[in-house]
Every structure is written in C-alpha cells, then in structure tokens.
A and B are shown apart, each in its own frame.
Chain A
Amino acid sequence: MFETFAALAQGMATSFKHLFMKPVTIQYPEEKRQVHERFKGRHVLNRYDNGLEKCIGCALCAAACPADAIFVEAAENSDDERYSPGERFASTYEINLLRCIFCGYCEDACPTEAITLEHNYELSFYDREGAIYTKDMLIVDVPVNGRSTPQPVEPGAFNRAIPEMEDPK
C-alpha cells in the first residue's frame, strides 16, 4: 500500500516540478530553433567572391546521389558570357527535394565545393513539381563587390578547367 502511494507521489512531484521549468516548445514560425553547425538542410550553389559560379557542371553530385535527385546539364563558357571560371558550367541544375534524403554525398563528390547543404529546413510545396528546385532557386545571392552571371570578362583571364582561385570558403 505504502509503495503505491510513494510511486504516485513521485510521479506527481515530477509533474509539479515541470510547472516551474522553462518550456521546450517554441513559437514557430515567429521563433526559430538554432540548428547545429553540421546540420544538413537544403542545398545551395555557391559563388566565388567575384560572383562567378563555383559549379562547373561536372554532374559528379548527380552520379553520387543515391536517390537520383539531382539533374545537371552542362554547357561551355565563353568570355562574353561567363558563368564559371573554367570551360564548363551548369546550364541546368535541378534537385528534386522530394527525392533527396539529405545524405550529403553530393557535397562530398563536388570537386569545387560548389554545392553545400545549409541550414534551411523550411521545405514545403503545394505540388510535386514545386519540389524541384532549379538553379535560380538554389544559387546564393551575388556577393557584395561581385557581379552577376553571366558576366563578360577579359579574353583569356579564366582559361583553367578547374579554376585556380583561392580556396572556396
């Protein structure tokens, strides 16, 4: 008999204690929870400081993707219309976020660190087609002091296939 009441009291004590504790729920979307630094959220396509795209359209991300969520089409840069420093850029870049399992293999496969999984986890769509994120939606904003792409450049200024620019940050 005594044991029953002791357990009951213990349970009540726990409930009572929680009345005075800070709640774990937050008022989303007014409030947003901080995620861990290595959290894998939605992908972005990065740019160099001068605004050129890091992506060279090699499609290794698509090859590495276990869910076949990425689709890339490449084209050739010219000095009049330059997207990326090398010869090749991604003319089409699509990620189907309904397929993506956020494993980060694409990030690992990327030779230029063009694609990274960032902290955006707010992914909701009205239809299945809305889940296909195109290059315009994935690419980051042009940095301050940088120019948008395509940009005209001096002939011969960017003749390396894999760009020799400072290590991507």
Chain B
Amino acid sequence: MSDLVTLTIDGTELSVPKGTRVADAAKSVGIDIPVFCHHPKLEPVGACRMCLVEIGMPMRDRATGEPMLNEDGSPKINFGRGLQTSCTAVVGEGMVVHTDTEAVTDVRGTLLEFQLVNHPLDCPICDKGGECPLQNLVMDHGKMESRVYFEDKRRSDKHVSLGDLIFLDRERCIQCARCIRFQDEVADDRVLQFHNRGVNLEIVTMSDPGFDSYWSGNTTDICPVGALTTADFRFGARPWEMTPSASICSQCAVGCNMTVNTRREARSGGKPVIKRILPRQNEAVNELWLCDKGRFTHDYVASPERLTSPMMRKDGELVAVSWDEALNAAAEGLQAASSVAGLAGQRLSNEDYFMLQKLFRKGLKSGNLDVNNRQIGGGDVVAQVGIAAGSDLQQLGKGDAILVVASDLHEEAPLWWLRVKQAADRGAALVVINGRSTRLSSHATHNLQADSGDIVATVRQLVSMAKVETDGTGALDAAAETLITANNLVAFYGYEGLSYEETESLAKALANLLLIQMDGEPHVGRMNNGLIPVWPYANTQGAWDMGIHPALLPSYKAAKMTGMDAVAMFAGAADGSLDALYVVGADPIGDGWMADRGKLGLLIVQELFMTKTAVTADIIFPAQSWAERDGTFTNGERRVQRYYPAIRPAGDSRPDWQILSQLGERVGAGKAETVTSLVFRSLTKAARQYKGMDYRSLGQVEAQWPVVGGDDRYYGGNAFANTAGLGKQWAAVAESKAVKQFEMDDAVSSREDGLLLINAASLYTAGTLIDKSAVLAPRMAKITLTINPVDATAYEDGDTLMVRTDRVTVQATAVVSDDVMVGTAVLRGVKAMNGTAVARLSKIKE
C-alpha cells in the first residue's frame, strides 16, 4: 500500500497510485478537469494550459522538517503564487487541489478566448462539430463574447491533404501536438512535425507519400478540434445523425473492437449505409486504436458488385433463381455426389463454421473439411498452451519477455505490433527471430536473423539451450537465458518463410519452451503467459475450435476417420476423385490453389462477390457481409467477441449459418436454425471450451480506464465507450492441468540451394475485399523484391524484374537492401504464401 498517495481534490479525499497525474486522479473520482493536449495514452506536455488548477502542498518547517499547522490543528497548505497544469503535475502526499475556484474559472474562460483568437468558428461545416472538445469546453467554460475582430483572424489553408487518407485544416488546429505525439510515442512513425513558430505554427508531414503510417486514422480521433479529418468521412454526415453499432474488425486475428456508424442515405434508396468506423474501447484487445486497414476497408459492403440473389447454371449460363430452387438443387446434388468436400474461408463466424461442420459431418456423413489458404498450423497446440485467459499485453513490462518468430507483426497484425512495441518500451525483453529484419527488429533486445529454412531449427536450438543451464555467450544463448528467466513470457509465431508443416513444429517447439519449468512454474497456464498464433485471418481460431479440420471435431476431439485436407481436395478436383466441392467464403481459384474447376461434378459457392471460383460454379448462394448480420469471432488470443448488425442485407442475401442450416435441413442434419444466438447456444454444447458463454455474457462490460465516450469533458477524442461487450477468452488446457512436453520429429532444414524467395505479408495486399476501398486504393502495396547487395550484382534499385518460382511468376520492382540476408530475396505485395522457393530472376528491358 506504500505505492498509494493520498490527496484531496475539491474536498474529496482519494488515494491513487504514485506517479499519477492530478488530472487523471481527479477523473477517477468523477471530477472533470478540462484538457486539450493531455491524453491518457500519451506523455504529458502541458502545452495548452487548459487544465490549470490550484495545487497546494503541506508546508514544513525548514529548520525541523515538521509539518506546519494552522491554529485549528489542520496542516498549513502553500498554494504557491500561480496555477499549475494538472496534466503534468504528479500527485503528492497531502496535496490539496482546487478545481473550481474563481481564479481557475477565470483562467479557463481567458484561455478559451485565446484558443478561439484564430479558430475559424466554421462549426456548421466542420466534421467534428457536435463531438468537438473545443466546442464542448467553450459551451461549458467559455466567455461567449470575443474581444477579437473576426476580420483579424489568421487565414490559412483549409484543405491540405496529408497523404491520401487524412485532410488537415490549418485554421482549426490549436497546436496541442496530440497527433505528432501519437505518431512519435505510440505509433513510432515519426512522419508529422511542427513547422514554423508562434502563430504561424503548422503541422507538416515529412514522409513520401504523405502521412505514411498505418495508424493515421487514429490522429483524427484524438484531434480535439476538426483539424484532422479522414478522407472517407469528409462532409459525410453530422455526428448526431449517425447510429452506432458495435462490431469486431474482420481483417486480422487481433479482433479489434470497433463501432460502425451508419446513416440513411439517398444513394442507397433511404437504407442505412456505413459512414465511418471508429475504435471501441477494449483495453485488453485494441485499447483506443484501430489500424487504417480496419478503419477504411468497409467499402466492399456497399459495393454494387455484391451478389444479391441465388444463381444456378442453366444451359451453361448462371441465372438468378429462388432460394428454394437453389437450396433443393444443392441438396440433391450433394446427396447424389460420390464424394463431397467443404472448403471454408477464414473470415466466417463461429456460427457459420459450426453449421458447416454439422452439414458435412451429420448431414453428408463426410469429414472432408478444411480451410482455404491454410497457412499456419498448431491450433491444437494453442488449445493446450495458448495465452491464458485474462491476459493483457498492456500489463507486460520490466522483467517480462516476448518472443516473436517468423512473423512481421506490423504488416500482419498491426495492433499486436503496437502493443508488443509498447511492452518493449516499458522494459519487456523482446526477442525476434526471422529470416530478415522487420519493423519490430529495431525494438528487439535480441534480434536473431535465422537463415531461411532454418528458422524452426534455430528455435529448437534455442529451446534446448533454455532447458539446460549453459555458460555459452552466443546471441542465441543470451536470448534463451532472457526468455526463460522472464517473469512472464508470451510467444507469437507466424508463417513467414515456413511451410505449413514447419509452422506445426514451430508451435510445438515454442510450446516446449513455454513448458520449461523455472522455479517450478512453466510459462503457461497463468496470466500473461502462453502462445499466440499470428493467424492470417480474423477467425482462423474459430475454424479450429469448430472442427473445420479433416482430423479434428469441435473442441479438438480427434475424428474417427481423417478426411481430405485442402491439398487433397485440390488434387481430387483436378484428377476427378472428388465429385462435389462446397466453397464458403473462399476463392481457391483466384488464390492460385486450383487452376480451374477441374473434373468436379458439382461446385457450390457461397460468397459475397463473383470471384474467379464463383464464375465457374454450378450454384451460387449470396451471403451477407459481416456488417449485415450478427455473430462471433474468436481472435488469436482465443477471445470470443460478438458483433452486431449495422446495416440491412444486400438484396436477397442470407447469413452463412442460415444458408448452411437450411441446406442441412434438406440433407437430414436437423431442423434449420432461425436465430444466431441459438446457433451459438448449440455450438457451446459441442465445443466444450465455449461452455458457459452465451450472447448475453459476451455482451457484458466492466468499467475501463481511461474513461471515454461519456458526456464528460475530460477525454477529448472520438472513441466509443464499450457498452456492447468485452468478449470472453476460453481457457487453454494448461490453465487447469499440467501439459507434457510435445514430442518432436528430428529437425530437418528446408534450406535449398539458390536464391531463396520469402513471401512477406503486406498490410495492404490486394484482395477481394480491400480492392473495393476507394480510400486505400492509392496505398495498396506495390510488388517489390528486396535483395541483398551481394546477390544483386546484376540489378539496381528500381529495376523491373521477372520473378519465377515453381509456384508463381510475377513482375516486381527491385529493392537492393541489406535488410535481407545473403541468399534470400523477399517478395512483397502479392498474397502471402507459405514456405520458401528457389527464385529465378530476369531483368525486363525497358
């Protein structure tokens, strides 16, 4: 308890942790001190002076050091001569704070008058108008009359494009530097800066392209005025006109909580459309942030290319038919087929996966189920030693360690990158093992570059070093020592440069590392310890949990008979041994897994868009997008989170689970389900990890710090208070019983001779959904090939190269850099694939 400090604010006595700022302390007892530059997630600067309060400390006798007392025995308080900024002042024992004296009120009015000297007061057309901290504070504390002539206001540019995503209005800026500090401290993309001084101070971007950051949208949220606005929402709607709906991002495995703002619109015939997406507070998942991909990728939902009615091939042409006709034909076709298989995308909800496996296992008596683009294995290992329920990366700091293997978190799961980086900033040891330098490497305590093909071997060597106490001095030894002696250890693993089988052994190797007992305790089964897979999609975890796997039933029970996996399905389609394929939310032809539909007798596709696979299908079912329906996603930390419908369905589309259950009813898989929450209820009975969860408990919230989104005047920024659920993590096996070390095969290096090509992920890689985003279009990743100068003797920066491997032939721009190791080339901007391949390069003459 010695870490608590007791002080009095406006007569309320409170105890807060040492080091708390006065403004935060006041908020914790419900006293709002107005702020502009202060933000609870940023370091204080004391730039705006809005939070000035009277702060007094008890006086002590200089000679004796004894507290001085008034005549009535109360301690004598010295308030000093002036006011102090409560955002920078740290609480002290016995401190007395007055926030409502005449001096404080007076200075607030004066400061606001000062802020408005050059502010254009164009609130009627400002996108922030209605949710603007400056507007709110002026209404609360302002003097309501200006002594400044309107004509004397500083004039400046009103429509400055900071890159393609963010617009700056220089007149509205009040120079609080929140955006600059966010970019520097939180995002570590130092692309914004102040230019000039005094009244001419302006925000400039120093990058090319402008504001080159995956986090730019967050600066518009935290801007306390309307100076920064996003391109997709510019003049889109007034804040009070929109309806918020809680949602979960469907773009990566982090599962960021967000709020979809919708409004009726003339262009949609009076139906609600998505106007913007804002973060929703979940301190254990995404805090108050969202990456730009999550924020701006929603355009596909309203795309005119969406499928709106069921279709069937008649006389070689796809024609629109009724649901009943399509469902009956699909049921007949599947039952008549000699062999059937189901292939699912990895963005479906848990309910969809559950109904899919029910359709196949119960209705069609087939275990041929797998996910498309399966890139990372080890879901069964994660179920054993996954990060423990209740963990929060925000709690990791000094004395803890994080290990990241074969993943570029910045490109694959930006929010995890942010939180891992911040943990490293707080003092956590960070060990990065990869075939090349990534964004995270510069924050790493130990950055170990493993030769491509040897990543798993390197990790296994690390694990064996950690098992025995060695006195080695090598980098690997030091890293092993750091990891194993850490109080808490979290390990992330991905698939960069690894085959699917290698990711499986990597998961086991990391599990063995976590299972090593240090002082009798392994790094599993307790909070802030365990394994996190960097799944390539939003609900890969759910696909594992629901048994979309040829050998695993829901809740990881082994199936009696192993079915066909995705690779076998593609081969079966090509050689005719597979008769019917049912594809849900996936595009195996577009992704290059299948050349065409091959000898399939029946191809059924359930999709949002007319993909390359759908074009060749016999029956197409139009599905609802994530914004049009409810459901649950399970993120990489195994947190089951619920999302809610925001807009009305496109055309005649139906939710995936409904299509699957209506089809299931026709093939004898039980009565069709009608309500998502009831599907979830039956799902919890089959998947025992989900036991005890229901839509109500997933929708429960608890108080979070910092307090956001209320009517208060303290946190000035757009973020939504979470009122729709924080989700629930399911417990890994290690949390209730001991897990044994995993058996592993002998390590085999997959190192081949020649220039090895690693396929690295880029956040903005072209895909069916992101391609529809008008805002992100100019930012889409260009196809580049990074080569070490040693290998690039014949090529220069900027050359156009033809890259050929066994699997891909692609044209790429050369980047010569020693970020990659000799003998390795890194291909970016094409859909990421597993493993390494020998690349043959040739220069294209211009």
Chain A positions within 8 Å of B, measured between CB atoms, are: 56-60, 62-63, 71, 73-76, 86-88, 92, 94, 111, 159, 161-162
Contact = CB atoms under 8 A, between A and B. Distances in A.
B159 interface: yes
Contact of A56 (B121, B125, B237): B125
Contact of A75 (B121, B129, B235, B240): B235
Given A74-B235, A92-B266, A162 B122 contact: yes
B125 A86 contact: yes
Contact of A162 (B124, B159, B237): B124
A4 to B, nearest CB: 67
Given A74-B235, A76-B234, A161 B122 contact: yes
Contact of B124 (A58, A62, A71, A73): A58
Given A76-B235, A161-B120, A62 B125 contact: no
Interface residues of B, number: 19
Interface in B258-272: 264-266
Contacts of B121: 162
B238 A59 contact: yes
B241 interface: yes
Contacts of B241: 59, 62-63
Contacts of A162: 120-122, 124-125
Nearest to A161: B122
Contacts of B126: 161
A58 B125 contact: yes
Interface in B514-551: none
B158 A87 contact: yes
Given A62-B241, A75-B235, A87 B159 contact: yes
B238 A88 contact: no
Interface in B231-286: 234-238, 240-241, 264-266
Interface string B618-644: 000000000000000000000000000
A76 B240 CA distance: 20
B223 to A, nearest CB: 17
Given A62-B241, A161-B158, A73 B125 contact: no
Contacts of A88: 125, 235
A71 B267 CA distance: 13
Nearest to A93: B266
Given A58-B124, A159-B158, A161-B125, 19 more contacts: A56-B124, A56-B125, A59-B238, A63-B238, A63-B240, A73-B266, A74-B125, A74-B236, A74-B237, A75-B235, A76-B234, A86-B125, A87-B159, A87-B235, A88-B125, A88-B235, A161-B126, A162-B121, A162-B125
B158 A111 contact: no
4 A-B pairs with the lowest CB-CB distances in the bound complex, closest first? A161-B122, A58-B124, A88-B125, A74-B235
Interface in B110-151: 120-122, 124-126, 129
Given A57-B235, A76-B235, A87 B266 contact: no
Contacts of A74: 125, 235-237
B125 A57 contact: yes
B398 to A, nearest CB: 49
A71 B266 contact: yes
Nearest to A60: B124
Contacts of B238: 58-59, 63
B246 to A, nearest CB: 24
Interface in B191-237: 234-237
A71 B265 CA distance: 9
Contacts of A57: 125, 235
18 contacts: A57-B125, A57-B235, A63-B240, A71-B264, A73-B265, A73-B266, A74-B125, A74-B235, A74-B236, A74-B237, A76-B234, A76-B235, A86-B122, A159-B158, A161-B120, A162-B120, A162-B124, A162-B125
